Amino acid sequence: MLPLFVCPGEGVRNAISSMPGQAQLSVDLLVRECEEMRKLGIGGVMLFGVPDTKDDQASGAYAEDGITQRAVRAVKKAVPELIVMTDVCNCEYTSHGHCGKVVGNDVDNDATLEWLAKTAVSHARAGADMVAPSDMMDGRVGFIREALDEHGFSNTPIFAYAAKFASVFYGPFREAAESTPQFGDRRSYQMDPSNGREAMLEMELDLEEGADLLMVKPAGPYLDLIRQARDRFDVPIGAYQVSGEYAMIHAAAQNGWIDLDRAMMESLTSIRRAGAGVILTYFAPDVVRALA
Ligand code: PBG
């Protein structure tokens, strides 16, 4: 599955310098890209909205005419067969760049759940096939599940970023999504990279709360956890090869230090071998072409 960034405007393609080949696209160009992805036969897309205004209530995240909602409606109208998933998070929409409501110097977990539920419902209403909460607030999967059910979306699955680590490898994404925290870091809600057992606990909790698929993120540095999750849980396991993993391969290839195509293939083969059934990767079109 291919992650894509959508921004306001028309005819806009803002290249992301640290992610060669990737760009923020306005809705019209996003639709064209999705048509092409459908023709290529990739599994689907994951949409990230980059709004033009932000506030401390993340109101753009759950606005009915927000950037992601508009993008979903346009893509599902033009390419109904393409699976469209949405990232459900607040960091692209808050002025401070945190994934939730900031009270004092902390993110208020429970107040944030309300925003997340509203966002997920608005994405489903716009036509999203699946919602993917990536915020890592406690209890969010159950909260979102209930809200979806209440609003008539009991058939919309939740792809939970269940084991999401506080990782340096999200660096390029934060440039792409303009979501770098303005103070502090995400360590109070994302997981400690040294703690593998907690990842299994987080996955178990998300399953109990109603997650339909579980994700490990990043992918390459956490292959052990993909394997453990595959052996332990009987739902599809996803893995997200994140922006930094993609950027590192490109940077080394640009220097002539490794072969781009082989590095892409080997990294993705390893993620598959570890047990991922669904892979999110910025290489999606390249790998589909290479496999054709
Ligand atoms: C939003 C979110 C992030 C990524 C996906 N969803 C960034 C973060 O948590 O800081 C990272 C994806 C990537 O690096 O490719 N919370």
Taking residues 29-53, report their average pLDDT: 96
Best residue for ligand 1 mutational test, from 4, 50, 89 (most atoms within 8 Å of Cβ): 89
pLDDT for residue 180 is more than 90: no
Best residue for ligand 1 mutational test, from 159, 170, 190, 245 (most atoms within 8 Å of Cβ): 170
Which residue in the list 76, 101, 118, 217 is annotated as catalytic? 217
CA 171 to ligand 1 center in whole angstroms? 8
pLDDT for residue 189 is more than 90: no
How many structural domains compose the chain? 1
Sign of CA dihedral 121, 124, 126, 132: positive
∠ CA(121), CA(89), CA(85), 5° rounding? 60
- The number of the ligand 1 atom at minimal distance from the alpha carbon of 179 is 10
Which residue in the list 54, 76, 118, 164 is annotated as catalytic? 164
Query: How large a percentage of the chain has pLDDT more than 90?
Result: 83
> For this structure, is 217 an active site residue?
yes
> For this structure, is 77 an active site residue?
no
Binning pLDDT at 50, 70 and 90, where does residue 99 land? confident
Model confidence over 192-216: pLDDT tens digits?
A: 999 999 999 999 999 999 999 999 9
Question: Which domain does 256 fall in, by range?
Answer: 2-291
Rounded distance between C-alpha atoms, residue 250 and residue 15, angstroms: 15
Stated length of the chain? 292
- What is the reported pLDDT for 100? 86
∠ CA(92), CA(64), CA(139), 5° rounding? 60
Residue 46 in contact with residue 86, Cβ under 8 Å? yes
CA 46 to ligand 1 center in whole angstroms? 12
4, β-bridge pairs = 47
- What is the reported pLDDT for 177? 83
What's 138's domain CATH number?
3.20.20.70
Binning pLDDT at 50, 70 and 90, where does residue 260 land? very high
Sign of CA dihedral 80, 280, 125, 11: negative
- The number of the ligand 1 atom at minimal distance from the alpha carbon of 181 is 10
pTM value is 0.95
CA 219 to ligand 1 center in whole angstroms? 12
Q: What torsion, rounded to 10 degrees, do the Cα atoms 54, 58, 59, 62 define?
A: 130
- The number of the ligand 1 atom at minimal distance from the alpha carbon of 3 is 15
Sign of CA dihedral 59, 64, 66, 67: positive
Helices marked H in 22-180 — which ranges?
Answer: 27-40, 59-62, 67-78, 109-126, 140-150, 171-177
pLDDT for residue 135 is more than 90: no
CA 170 to ligand 1 center in whole angstroms? 6
> How many other CB atoms are found less than 10 A from the CB of residue 253?
17
* Cβ-proximal residues to 266 (8 Å cutoff; 6+ apart), any chain: none
Q: Which two tokens stand for residue 131?
A: 């919602």
CB-defined site of ligand 1, < 6 Å = 87, 89, 91, 99, 134, 170, 173-174, 186, 242-243
Taking residues 268-284, report their average pLDDT: 98
